[in-house]
Structure formats: structure tokens, C-alpha cells
Structure 1
Amino acid sequence: MIRERRSKEKLQNYYYKFVKHGELDPNVHPWVAESWQRSRAAGVPTDRMPPLKKLDKQELARRRERHRVALAYLDGLFREIREHFNVYNLSLLLLDQECYALKSYALPFFQMTPGELEGARLTEADIGTSSISIAYRHQTPFLLFGPEMWIAECQTGDACSTPVMPEGEPEYVLTLVSVQQEEIPYGAVMSLLLTMKYALENYLRLERRLAVKRTILDAVPLAVYHILPGGEVAYTNRLGQNRLSVITPEGQAGEPPNLSDVVLNYRHTPLYKGFLGIPSYNKEVTWITPQKTYEDITTVVPIERDGQVASVVAVSMPIEDLRTMVAHAAGYTARYSLASIVGEAPAIVALKDKATRVARGHGHLLLQGEPGTGKQRLAHGIHQASHRAAGPLIAVRCADMPPDLLEAELFGTKAGGDESRPGKLELANGGTLFLDEVEKLPPHLQARLAQALTAGQAARVGEDVLRSFDVRVIAACDSDLKRLTEKGAFLPQLHELLAKTVLRIPPLRARAGDIPLLAAHIIDELAQQHNLPVKQLSEAAAELLMSYDWPGNIKQLQGVVEHAFFHTAGQTITPGDIILPGEVGPSKAWKEDREVFIEAWKAAGGNISRLANMLDVSRVTLYRYLKKYGLERQ
């Protein structure tokens, strides 16, 4: 609030009139009059400053740390205008929202040195009427003339205070005291204070928004850099700092390196082109440094000023991080844990115990068992229990595609021009590659895979560039891989790499006592997946399931139980609700009846190997009938 100059003698008379006789002159400003009355009622002395409530050194230090941004700004501002404060006998004080003095600048304030004042509380209840209490109470700037202050020894100067409200609520009080009023107009003092208020509020708002943006940039899985001409790094986020710390020369700790000095191929990177005004978007870039070579997906955007490139912003992601992110986004994660492997048979208990132990290791694994015994679920559980659980789990069915497509699927391929795409071996970096039906891998790919696993490097199809990878392979085989190797049908070198640890999964017929447990578990999973009530399996239905030998193993059992679950009207599955696989396809009707074939295929869970076991024919025969009936191969 801007006030006109008042006669100090008249104000002094008003003050003494109230203090000595309790009479309020109508010319006293209403806010001042109200404050005088409250100060008198609170018993605040009028002659000298009373003992003040003060923060201890530790609490004052904590508050200063909490308000370090505001203090740092005022420290810098005061350094620039200190000389003017000394010439005009000005004092500056910053208080927090509880009116504790955080810092006192320049001359003694309220007849107290900065050391005496800092940490003291200066509310109306402590020192009576002051510009601080009035500005804080009414949340507006206020100029208080010396004779209007409650404590007489503080009436030697005029004071103006203003709340500082960067977000609309008072967070600080900024106070300016002028001792030599004749040297500087009241309007100038108030203008200076309001300028400081405006600047501080805008600075705090800006800093807070920048802090939020820095937090966002630190949270993203990208390295972000602001780079000046010549390669100097003006800013980088947390991931960028971590990357730069690896290539920072010795003796330069704490400061980012100049990229033109540490990136040996700097002139051949998008950064150099960026300073020529050429942006780059999502380019695969190789960064060569004395310590190591990096491969990133990088975007570089020039920042212009007055028509000239003043700096560039670079955003990059390590290719291995991008692959892991893509793998997770594509659902390449473990869906099952080892706890989901159900059974009380000694062979299953021993298998789970061994799987738990070997999951913590680093070597490749081989899972052997008939089709449908749960090798995929076991692979998922091992991955989830391993130290690679945060990495991707990527599966490749070795029997599902021709050799040339399988090679590109595994190792990646050049897509034309400068573009190429990674294979599953690269995408599984940092995680697990599950090779199902590994015995179906063509001989030349067996040799290439063995070489790649031994070297930890592989080139994409059509390229010569070797790319490193860190992958654990879990291979699954429907037959005895050792016997196939002895017969010359599988490469010994690859067998040696994969079969150092072998887990053999027993067929379902070897643990028939687990069938009720498995059926109940399948029902629970179906109910949870489809948000339906759990159904019970009657004892007679359980006995019926146990009477069958299940050539398609657990997958076949799952198909039968799933059919019963969805086709049972009540809450209990009885023998009448169950259609065993042998009942689906009478005789050889499937060879002539497409619908009968489809029912058998569904009962086998869409798995060719299981269907072949059920119908007692070869897989080649089934592929012929799939083609005959126009069915998609799964």
C-alpha cells in the first residue's frame, strides 16, 4: 500500500497519546490503530525490544537449507546493490512464513545486529506493531513510518514490508528499512521493495518449474544433453551424467568432459551435423571413446539464436536399453513363476527344487520332456527366479518357420540401405532366450548359434558388424537330445553348451496322483483370468481324469478341463461334463471330417506334437491335413 508522506511530529503525538492515555486519534491509519490495540492487549513493551523467541542453530540451519533457493537469489542480488544499501543506510530482512528471520542484510535491524536477529521470531505478539505484522496480516505491501512502530527504540527509521507469494499463498516476508528518509523518497524505497518482491516471486516460480522438468528428465530412460559449440556440455540429466562419468578423463571429476575431446569420431556424429543446422531423428549412432564404444539411438535438434545455431539438444538411448524396453512392451516377460508348477509327486518336488537352485546360476539350461509336460512354464519360472528377471524373456519356436526366416528371426537381418533390425538373440540381451523344440534347429544354424554363444557376439544376416550380447539360453527338447547328438542329428558343440545342466520333466501318466491338483489349479486360473466363480471338480470327475493316460500331458488335460469349465452350467464339474480326448475323434473320422479334426486339434490345445500323439500319426501327416483343411498352423 502506497502512503503519502506524514508529519513525524504528528505521528509521534498520536503514538504517545495512545501509549500514555489509551486514546486513538482518528488520523491514525486503521490497520496501524488495530495493531496498536492488539499489541497493547498482548502486553508487548513499548520502550525497548523484549527477549525474542529464537530458533536454535540446528533448526535455523535446517530452515535455511529448506529455503536455500530464495536465500541464494537474495544473496546474489544483494552483492550487486550492496554499495547502494550502504550509501542510503538501507537494511534488508527475509522472514519465513512463520515470521522467523532467515537472514539480515546490511545495517543493524531493529537495533539488533544480524547475528542477534537471525533466527528470531518477529510476529506482532513478539514485537508489537511493525510493517512485518501488518503486511503479513493483510497480505499486501505496507509502508510503516517510524513513529507508528510499537517499540520506541525501533522508531528511528521507516520500514516497508511485503509478503512474497510465488504460488498465491504467503511464503516469505521481505522487509526494507530506511534510516535516512531525506536521502531517498518513500516511493523509491517502496518501488525497490516491490521490484525485489516481483523478481523473487518469478525466480521461485521459474526454479520450481525447472525443478519439476529436471525431475522429469531424470526419470526418463533417455540421456539428454544440451551442448554448446565446441562440444562443451552445458546440461545433462542423471542418465547422461552416468554415461559421461565413464568417459571423463582423470583429474576432471565433477565436470562433464568436452565431447569433441573424448568422442574420437565426433566430426562424424549427428552432433557435428547439428551445429551445421542439420537435425537428426532416431538415428543409430556409434560413439567411439578411448574407454569403450557405445551404440545409441540418437536425436539431435539445433537451437538457433538470431538465425545462427547457438547450441544443440541431443537425446539418446542405449540400443540395449531400447531393446529391453521393446521386449517388455511386447510382452516378453515371464508369465509364470516356479510356484505355479503344481504337484506333490516326488519327481515334481525334486524338479522344482533343482529348478530353484539352477535359476540362480548363469549357465545355459536344457529342459527335456514329452510335448505338453510344461517345459515353457518351467522356463518362465526359472527366468523369473533368476537374476535376469528384470530383463526380457523371448521365445523362439525352432520348428515354426523355414531355415532362412528362422536365421533372420534369431540373428537379425539387414533391411536395406543403412537400416537393419535386431534378432531375438539381441532382443534378449540382459535376459533369457527360450528355444523351444531346439532339436528342430537346422544344422547350419546349430553351428552358427554355438559359435555366437561361445563368442558372445553375432552379426546380423547380410552384415559383417559383430554385436555383443549377454543372454542365457534355456532350450527345450521333446526327445532325448543326447541320443540325437550321438546319432549325428544334433551338433555336439551346441549340445555341450546347452546340456551342462539338464532338467527332465516327467510325463503326466507318471504322476497320475497330481491330476486332481493340476485340474483344480487350471480351474482357478481360468476363473481368475475370466473373472468367473471358481468351480469344483467332483470326486468322480477327478477319478475319470486320473483313469486316462494323457498322451498330450498337461496341455491336453488343460484343454479338457477348460472345455468342461465353460460348458458346465452349475458350480460342480461332474463326469458327464468331461469329454476325454479319445471321445472326440471316433476311429479315423478326422481324416475326412474337418469339424472332427478341429475338435481334436482344440483338445490338444492347438499343439501339433500333442495332436500327433493323440491321433498316433506323424507331425508331417498332420501338416498335410492342416493344409488340406485350410487351417493356420500354430
Structure 2
Amino acid sequence: MIREKRNKEKLTAYYNKFMDEGVVDPNVHPWVAESWQRCQNLHLPHETMPKVNRLTREQVIEHQKAHAQIVEYVDGLYEQNKQHFNSHNLSMLLIDDQGYVIKNYAMPFFQRVIDDIQGMRVLESDIGTSSISIAREHNVPFLMFGPEMWIRESHNGDACSAPICVQGKIRYILSFCSVDQRELPYDLLLSLLLTMKYSVEKYLEMLVYWNVQKMILNELPVSVYWLNRDEKIQYCNENGKKRLDGKNALADVFLNYEHIPVRQALAGKPVYRREVTWITQDRTYEDVTTALPVKVGKNVEGAVILSMSIEDLKTTIAHATGYSSRYSLYSMVGETTEFLALQHKATRIARADSNILLQGEPGTGKQRLAHGIHQASARAAAPLIVVKCTDGSPKAMEEEFFGRVDGDNLPAAGKLELAMGGTLFIDEVEKLPVELGDKLADALKNGLPVRGSGERKKLNIRVIAACDSNLKRLADKGLFSRQLFEMVLDTVMRIPPLRERVKDISVLANHILAEMSAQYNMPQKHLTPEALKVLTGCSWPGNIKQLQGVIERAFFHVPGSIIEADDVKMPVDKTMEKSWKMTRMLSSPYGNPPAATFPSWLPCWM
């Protein structure tokens, strides 16, 4: 609060009147008067400075280290204005939000030595009324004349304090203190204090912003470098530091520095998403690199380089788009010998790293079994990439496996690249054209051809293929790639149809009902023995998917909690006969039918 100059003799009279008679003169500033009364109620001594709370010398050192950034900044501000403090016999205090003095600048505060004031707590409860306590309580700058202070021996000088706030909260207090009887240029001193307050607040806001930015940059799987005009590194994130080996210039680390687009950016020409090889003495990085000029006005003063490993990029894309296993082997339901044998075999096979061929009728659960095997394998943390073969264009299917170049001549990764380190699940593999099957087998065996070079990149991929037909017979007739057939023939698993697991039908049906009740927050429904008898008497040509459609219809059409035999609409109806086929045709490329026909709880079954 900027105040007019006050007559100090009158202020001294007001102070003495309060101390001697306990009477507050109406001319005393109300905030000061309220503080005096609180100090009186606390029985604080007012003649000399009392012994107050303070930090030890070791604690002072740690205190300053904890606030090192702000201390360094205020040091710089003080150095720029030191002559004004000296010419007016001023001291400046930097105080934390708890009232402890972090550092004292210039002349001693309250005529005490510098080491004495640092670490001292200067709250109202410690030293009584002061500009510090008023500024802290009311969150405004406050000028206080000497006779208004609680401690009489401090009346020789004046003080002005300003809170330093970030997002409305006091973080620090700056306080100017005079120990001189001479007339002070109050307007100039207040202007200096308010300017410093503004500067420190903006600096603190910038620190918060920059610290958040660093957190973000350090979490990104990208190497980030900010270079100045001399190509020296001004900043790099943690990912970037791993490549630098302690050096401060990219040219000292990367042998092919001239081919990295740094100088294009320094010339003002941005480079976006270019494939760049970064070569060091120890290893080579294949990256997608962006280089941007940093401009001040129209002048280029530096460059920012963002470079991401293509391998990391593929993994990030794979996980971001949900290429992961969602189903566990032991979340599947069944009690028959056939089912348990299959489940145990899948568990054993999952631990190995051989390719797998899953054979079974449509709707038997091949997709979910593939998910479960991936999740139980050592590759569980890596992507599970699904390709569903179709009767569509061979060119589109080839691009799905091997990728393509988009309109900006940038490569779009194919499913083979995305599956690196993980599992590639090829559903309905029998629909794969022979020529494309041969090309796929060659890439899996010998590596993926690198664009623009004669080199090949080895693929670390486990293949799980699923088919509804006899793949060997198709290969023998030349209708399927012999090379690919032999590659996926390491382990063959036959998935039994539901008609061979009749005892599992009632287990599956009840499990479906329980899951539906939980998902839709509806009361549990139960099948009568007669209804279960109807279900177990069906051959289920559509297997589990067809059973699911029947149970779902009954669940939503029966108002009560009991599903009778008459409520079960069996697939003799032509509409229901086609339902499982329609579901199968509408399945997504990821192996999951749309929500309307194949609810999310279905993956719990086998």
C-alpha cells in the first residue's frame, strides 16, 4: 500500500500513548492498530529485539540451497541496484512464505550483523508489528514508518515490504529496511520495490512453466536438443543426454553430423519428419528427425532438434492404438476334458517362442486364444498386431503388412514393423494370396527390405496364424504359400467345436448371463433346467458366437429373472441361423466384432 509521508513526531506520540495507556489514536493506520493490539495480547516485549525462533547455521545453508534458484535471481537484481542501497543505507531481506529470512542484502537489518538475521523468523508473533507482517497478512505492499513498528529500537528507520505471489499464493516477501534518519525518496524506493516484485513473480511463473515443460520433455520418447548459433547445446532432455556421452556439441558425438539437418534449421529452413541416420562410434540410430529454427524477431538465433527412434516410434504407435492383449488364457471358461487339455497346452506353448497355427471352425474362439497365448508369453509387454485377411485387394493387403509411402513421401509403417518384438496374429490366413504369402515368409525368415538400400532388417516376431480350413490341403493344391505354411507349422492347435464340448454349454451360458448382468447393471438372470436342456440339445454350427447371440436375445427379452425354455429362440429360425455369420463378417481388423453384436464381456469365454 503506497502511503503519504507521515509526521514521525506525531507517530511517536501515538505509539507512546498506546504503550503507556493502551489507547489507539484514530490517526493510527487501522492495520497497524490491529497488529499492536494483537502484540499486546501476546505480551510481546517492545523495547528491544527479543530472542526469536531461528535456524541453525547448518539449517541456514540448507535453507538457501533449497531456494537456490530464487536466491540467484534476487542476487542479480540486487547487483543491478546495489548503488541505490548503499547510498540510502538500505538493507533488503528475502523471506520465505513461513517468515524465515533466506538472505540479507546490503546493510544489517535492525543494526544486527548479517549472519545474525539470516535464518531468523520475522513473523508478527516473533518481532511484533512490522511491514513484513502487514504485507504478509493483507497480501499487499506496505510502507511502514519507524514509530509504527512494535520494537522501539527499530524506530530509527523505515521499512517497505511486498509479497511475491504465484497463482494468488504468497511464495516470498521482499523487504527494504532503512537504518538512517535521513529523509528517504519514498516514491523512488517504492517504485524499485514494486519493479523487483513484478520481476521476481514473472521469474517464478516462468520457473513453474519451464519445470513442467522439462517433465514433459523428459517423459517423451524423443531426443530434444536446443542449439545456439555456434551449434553448442543450450538444453537437451534426458533422452538426448543418453546419446551425448557428456559432450556439449552434436558434432563431437555423431560421425555423420554434416548429414543431420542442423545447419538447414540455423539457415532458417525447417525440416519436418525426415528419416535420418545418427552414427556414433558405438552404435547407429535410425530416427525420424525434425529441425526447427529458433527466431528472435526475424533473426535466427538457434535451432531445436527433435529426433525419435523409428523403433520407439513403432512401439509407441502400437501401444497408443491399443495393440495389446486383452484376454487371459485363464479367463476362458470350460470344464470338459477337451477344453482343459487345450487350455493347458496353450499355457505350455505360450512359454516357448515357436510359431503357432490355430485350426478350428468359425466362432470357436481362435482370436481369443491367440490373445491369451500372447499375454502368457515372454512377449506380453510388446505389441500384439492383428491382420485379418480378406477377399479384398491384394495390393491393400500387401500395404497392410509391409507399409506404404504417403502423400508427403513419408513412410507409413506396416504391421510387420509394428509387431517388432511382439506377436503377429494373422486371422483367416487361408485367404492370403500365394504370392503375398511367399513374400511374407521371405520377410519373416530373411528380414524386411530397407527402403532405398539393398539391406534387410531382421524381424523379431512370433507368428500365430488362424484358419477355418485345412491349410495343408490348400498348400498341397498350390492354393496357399508352401513357404508360409511350413513356417507356421511349428505347433498346430486344433480348437474343438462346441458340439464336442456339450458339457461346457451350460457353464458358458451361465457365465454369459452373469457377465451381462454385471456389465449392464441389471439383476442376475437364470436359465431353468428345461432351458439348459434346449441349449445342450443344439449342434451349434456357429459355435460360441452363435450361443452368445441366443443368450443375449433371451437376456434382453425376458422381463423377469428366470429364462424358460420357451424364451430361448433357437437357430432353427432363419434369422438366428444367419446371426453368427453376420457377426463374423462384421468383425473388426483387431478380431473383435462391433459392440452391438459382440459385447466386451464375450472375451471371457473360450
TM-score of the pair, normalised by structure 1: 0.78
Given the alignment of the two structures, is residue 259 of structure 1 paired with residue 250 of structure 2, yes or no? yes
Offset from partner CA, 1:128-157 (integer Å, 9 cap, x none): 222222333343333333344332333343
The answer for the alignment partner of 2:136 in structure 1 is 136
- Counterpart Cα distance in 1 of 2:376 and 2:199: 56
SS where residue 136 of structure 1 aligns? helix
344, 348, 369: which one aligns with 2:335: 344
497, 511, 519: which one aligns with 2:509: 519
Greater mean deviation of Cα atoms: 4-13 or 48-57: 4-13
Letter in 2 for 1:393: L
Shift of 1:204: 1.6
**Shift in alpha-carbon separation, 1:536–1:370, aligned structure 2, 3 A:** same
Greater mean deviation of Cα atoms: 393-402 or 524-533: 524-533
Letter in 1 for 2:266: F
SS where residue 304 of structure 2 aligns? strand
SS where residue 163 of structure 2 aligns? strand
Letter in 2 for 1:115: D
SS where residue 110 of structure 2 aligns? coil
Alignment of 1:397-436 (within 5 A): 397-398=388-389, 400-401=391-392, 403-414=394-405, 418-436=409-427
The answer to whether the Cα contact below 8 Å between 2:391 and 2:431 also exists between their aligned partners in 1 is no
**Shift in alpha-carbon separation, 1:10–1:522, aligned structure 2, 3 A:** closer
The answer for the alignment partner of 2:593 in structure 1 is none
Alignment of 1:445-464 (within 5 A): 445-455=436-446, 457-459=447-449
The answer to whether the Cα contact below 8 Å between 1:414 and 1:463 also exists between their aligned partners in 2 is no
248, 259, 262: which one aligns with 2:244: 248
- Counterpart Cα distance in 2 of 1:230 and 1:472: 48
Shift of 1:350: 3.7
The answer for the alignment partner of 1:601 in structure 2 is 578
The answer for the alignment partner of 1:212 in structure 2 is 212
Greater mean deviation of Cα atoms: 54-63 or 548-557: 54-63
The answer to whether the Cα contact below 8 Å between 1:413 and 1:461 also exists between their aligned partners in 2 is no
Offset from partner CA, 1:218-269 (integer Å, 9 cap, x none): 45555544333353333344xxx31x234214xx2xx6x4234444444444
- Counterpart Cα distance in 2 of 1:519 and 1:277: 67
**Shift in alpha-carbon separation, 1:415–1:467, aligned structure 2, 3 A:** farther
Given the alignment of the two structures, is residue 276 of structure 1 paired with residue 267 of structure 2, yes or no? yes
Alignment of 1:176-325 (within 5 A): 176-182=176-182, 185-220=185-220, 222-237=222-237, 241-242=238-239, 244-249=240-245, 252=246, 257-325=248-316
- Counterpart Cα distance in 1 of 2:467 and 2:451: 26
- Counterpart Cα distance in 2 of 1:580 and 1:543: 12
The answer to whether the Cα contact below 8 Å between 1:408 and 1:423 also exists between their aligned partners in 2 is yes
**Shift in alpha-carbon separation, 1:213–1:157, aligned structure 2, 3 A:** same
- Counterpart Cα distance in 2 of 1:419 and 1:231: 28
The answer for the alignment partner of 1:116 in structure 2 is 116
**Shift in alpha-carbon separation, 1:330–1:175, aligned structure 2, 3 A:** closer
**Shift in alpha-carbon separation, 1:338–1:468, aligned structure 2, 3 A:** same
Given the alignment of the two structures, is residue 38 of structure 1 paired with residue 34 of structure 2, yes or no? no
Offset from partner CA, 1:178-212 (integer Å, 9 cap, x none): 22353853433333322222221222222223333
Shift of 1:93: 1.4
The answer to whether the Cα contact below 8 Å between 2:546 and 2:579 also exists between their aligned partners in 1 is no
Shift of 1:31: 4.2
The answer to whether the Cα contact below 8 Å between 1:527 and 1:533 also exists between their aligned partners in 2 is yes
Offset from partner CA, 1:533-563 (integer Å, 9 cap, x none): 6543221222222223434433343344445
Shift of 1:461: 9.2
SS where residue 343 of structure 1 aligns? coil
The answer to whether the Cα contact below 8 Å between 1:408 and 1:461 also exists between their aligned partners in 2 is no
Letter in 2 for 1:247: R
Shift of 1:330: 4.7
Shift of 1:439: 5.0
Alignment of 1:143-154 (within 5 A): 143-154=143-154
- Counterpart Cα distance in 1 of 2:15 and 2:406: 90
Shift of 1:515: 0.9
The answer to whether the Cα contact below 8 Å between 2:128 and 2:151 also exists between their aligned partners in 1 is yes
The answer to whether the Cα contact below 8 Å between 1:408 and 1:460 also exists between their aligned partners in 2 is no
Given the alignment of the two structures, is residue 557 of structure 1 paired with residue 557 of structure 2, yes or no? no
- Counterpart Cα distance in 1 of 2:408 and 2:136: 69
| Unmatched 5+ stretches in structure 2 | 586-606
The answer for the alignment partner of 2:463 in structure 1 is 473
SS where residue 394 of structure 1 aligns? strand
- Counterpart Cα distance in 2 of 1:415 and 1:10: 84
The answer for the alignment partner of 2:495 in structure 1 is 505
Given the alignment of the two structures, is residue 384 of structure 1 paired with residue 375 of structure 2, yes or no? yes
Once the two structures are aligned, what percentage of the paired residues are identical?
A: 49
Q: Please report the RMSD computed on the Cα atoms of aligned residues, expressed in angstroms.
A: 3.9
Letter in 1 for 2:529: E
- Counterpart Cα distance in 2 of 1:285 and 1:444: 32
Shift of 1:344: 1.4
- Counterpart Cα distance in 2 of 1:607 and 1:370: 12
Letter in 1 for 2:49: M
The answer for the alignment partner of 2:91 in structure 1 is 91
Q: How many residues align?
A: 585
**Shift in alpha-carbon separation, 1:146–1:476, aligned structure 2, 3 A:** same
The answer for the alignment partner of 2:601 in structure 1 is none
SS where residue 475 of structure 1 aligns? strand
SS where residue 110 of structure 1 aligns? helix
Offset from partner CA, 1:301-324 (integer Å, 9 cap, x none): 333334332223344444344444
Shift of 1:465: 5.9
- Counterpart Cα distance in 1 of 2:561 and 2:146: 88
Greater mean deviation of Cα atoms: 427-436 or 213-222: 213-222
SS where residue 358 of structure 2 aligns? strand
| Unmatched 5+ stretches in structure 1 | 585-595, 609-634
